[in-house]
Each structure stands twice: as structure tokens, then as C-alpha cells.
Amino acid sequence: MRDHLPAEMRRREHVFGVITHHFQRYGFEPLATPTLEKRETLLGKYGEDAQPLIYHARHEMGKEELSLRYDLTVPLARVVAMHGHELPLPFKRYQLAPVWRAERPQRGRYREFYQCDADIVGSSSMAADAELIALLCDVLASLGFGANGPSVTIRINNRKLLRGIGEYAGVDAAHLADLYRSLDKFERIGVSGVKQELSDRGLSAGIVQRLVQLLLHSGGNRQSLAALESELHRFPNALAGIHELKSIDSLLQAYSIPPVLYTFDFTMVRGLGYYTGPIYEATITEPNLGSICGGGRYDELIGIFRRESLPTTGLSIGVERILDVMTELDMFSSAIAASASDVWVIIIDESSRPAAISLTQALRAKGMRVEMQLEAKPDLGKQLRTVNRKNIPFTLILGPDELAQHTVTSKRMVDGEQRTWPRENDIDELVAYFHQDP
């Protein structure tokens, strides 16, 4: 759980702004949910690995047992169950909010962090899943990933296909969760490590070998799907998952998503227990910095909170990991990192304050970010030190000479250039000057 000082907050707000802009472009509506949920709302929804990471709140006077939200997905399911009659379907929602997990803090992993989620409730069509992947591609491109920035690959899989692969290999339903947990480590421990872990979990050598042969079809798109379809044609779950992936592949072409941006990876699992269909993760591949986004379809989660479920799919953008990566790779423009203000209005003495206020408000009305000296006894040296410390690119000086001559003096801090402007001039000339590169 961290403090975020102003320079970092400017970077965070920039990234949040880009993400929100694209969520709104795609027609998603804002939603807010409480920080605390009833404990039973959260428990049993994420899988056994997540259960110990939920923070529980205690209140001596209250009788309800409450917990800090672990993600934004389960609270969404509760909201739809409680307020579904007020929400026209399909309901497209977005939420940017903190969540809490009792993690051991490390790079890219925190106890309190923001999630940026977009979900579509009430559509079973793969067009909803493809739309979310296209949205993700737009967000990442706007933030500088891909093209000339860090390379990103979106890995796509399907829980139905994973179930079918397990059936093909002879894994009984009781061991499917073990299979998922082992496959989820494929990138970290490799083929031999997964083989060993599956054997340790009680699967026979024959089952393990059949599984690994199928999983090694990963790494392509249409060709890998065709190979799996031929091998698994007698297993309905596998075929259903393959057909959904084929549909997503076709739809992503219609969205003009380059095939190089995504691949079908049959070892990718995503750890949360509520996924039922397509799943995906966006991973920074060059430099190799790990996953920055994940999502998938969870058609049965809302049904836990009401009699009838609704088909639902969603994504969660890992904004903390994105911020860490963008900071490490110096991907923020100097304007974002530099200062909260464009101009500082220097007041030499109190007689110039009314004119300074008038000028400041005129510039603010034009969209400029402007500060001025507020203390009653202006100190020029102190003001200049503040300007330098805050990296403010311009100053405007209003002293006795400027007041007498109805002028204002600008100074560009990077090179010291000074200019004098008649104060009755059109303010747009001054604004245009501030927007020029030195």
C-alpha cells in the first residue's frame, strides 16, 4: 500500500485518462461499488489459491462480517443480481477502482492496487469477447505499446478447450483444478516441470504424455486450432472451445487486429475459478516484462447471486504493471512528467495582485494551468526557487514598471528568453507563445 506523490500521480492520471477515454469510445458506462463486501459475497468465488489473499474487516459493534474487495468482477455480479431490472441488456460497464490482496509485495505486485475493468453482461456472442480484445489493443496502442514501443502479444485460450483436453487425456473431473494449476506454471517451470508436477499430483505417465503432446500445438492461430480440432473431434467440450476461438479469430480480422498481435496458447489458464469460456492475457514480450492485462468469459458467476445467470465477459487492465513498465522504459512524455503548471505569475509587491489575479484567470479560461504567488509579502528569490523546483516552464512578471506601462513580461525558463507584452493585447497571442516549442 503506497503513497503516490505529485509527479507519479500525473503519470497515473494520464494513464487512467487514456483508458477511460477508450472505455467510453466503446460505449461502456461507469459503475462504482463499495470498498467492503459481505464476506460470503467474496468467499468461494476465486479458487483456493486466492482465498487466503482476501482481507477481512473486523468491527466489534457490528454483526456483519465484511471483507475488502478482491477484484471488481464479483462485485459486478452482485450488482447485476440486485439491480438487474434497472440495467438494459447488454449492459456494458467500466470501473477504475482500488482492490486489496494480502500479497507479499514485489515488483508489479502490491497489496492495494487499481484495476481498470470493462465488462459486457447479457451477451453470449463471441462478438462481445472480440470487442473487448479490440478495445484492449486500442488502449495499449495509445499508451505506446506495439509499433515502435515495447512489443505486446495477446495470448488466447478457452476453458472449454482445456476441459476437453483433460477429458481426452483421461483426467477426471476431480483433478481438473490440479491440471489448471499445473498448466498455469508452464512459462515458469517449462515442459519438464509441468510433467513432474502433474505426476506428483497423481496423474499417470500416459496421461501426462498425452497432455503435453496436445499442449505443444500452441504458438499459432488457425493452423494450431485445425490440428487440435482434428485430434479432439470426439470431445464436445473441446470442439465448443475450438469453435469459439475460431469465431474470435475471424472477428478480430474484421476489427483489423493484426494476426501478429495475438496467438492461441493452450497452456495459458488464468488462475481465477469463475472463467467458463475464452480467456486471454496481454504480455510484454520485448523486453520480457510479463502480463499487463487479462480477461475472459464467466457465464455462471451472476447465477450464484440470483436464480438465473447471464452470459458475461470482461477484461481487467493491470494498470499498476503498465505504470511500472512505462516508468522503467521512460515512455512518458516530458510534459506529463515535468510539472502540474504551465505558468507561474510573479508578483513583485501587493499593488500588482489585482492585475495578477485578472491575468491568471484570463489564462485559466483559455485552458492554461497557472499558479501565482499567494503569500502577502512576495519574495522574488523564493518564487524563482519554487518555479525551478516545480519545473514550471514559463513565468509572467507583474512589477511596478509593468503596472505603469500596462505590460507583462514573460520568461521562458529553459533558455531565459524574455518578451514584453501589452496587457490589452488579445490573450490568445500569449497562449500561442506558451504552446510553442523553444
Beta strands 29-30; 91-100: pairing state: parallel
> b/e for 258-276, b at 16 or more Cβ within 10 A?
eeebbbbbbbbbbebbbbb
- Interatomic CA distance for residues 350 and 378, integer angstroms: 8
CA proximity to 232, closest of 259, 205, 210: 210
Is 217's pLDDT higher than 80? no
Beta strands 312-317; 112-121: pairing state: antiparallel
> How confident is the model over 264-306, as pLDDT tens digits?
988 888 867 789 999 999 998 877 777 899 999 999 999 999 9
Is 60's pLDDT higher than 70? no
Is 339's pLDDT higher than 80? no
Q: Look-up: residue for cell 472480440? A: 130
What is the structure's pLDDT at 225? 87
| Domains, the chain, ordered by start | 6-334 (3.30.930.10), 339-434 (3.40.50.800)
Residue partners of 207: CB distance under 8 A and separation at least 6: 169, 170, 171, 198
What is the structure's pLDDT at 213? 76
CA proximity to 301, closest of 315, 312, 289: 312
Longest CA–CA span in the chain (Å) reads 94
Task: For Cα atoms 292, 293, 295, give the angle at the middle one, nearest 5 degrees.
Answer: 160
What amino acid occupies position 110? Y
- Interatomic CA distance for residues 390 and 9, integer angstroms: 14
CA proximity to 322, closest of 294, 287, 292: 292
Which one of 50-59, 126-135, 423-432 scores highest in mean pLDDT?
126-135
- Interatomic CA distance for residues 6 and 43, integer angstroms: 36
pLDDT tier, 122 (very low <50, low <70, confident <90, very high otherwise): very high
- Interatomic CA distance for residues 196 and 207, integer angstroms: 12
> How confident is the model over 89-113, as pLDDT tens digits?
999 999 999 999 988 877 667 899 9
pTM for the model stands at 0.85
The residue count of the chain comes to 438
- Interatomic CA distance for residues 100 and 110, integer angstroms: 8
pLDDT tier, 8 (very low <50, low <70, confident <90, very high otherwise): confident
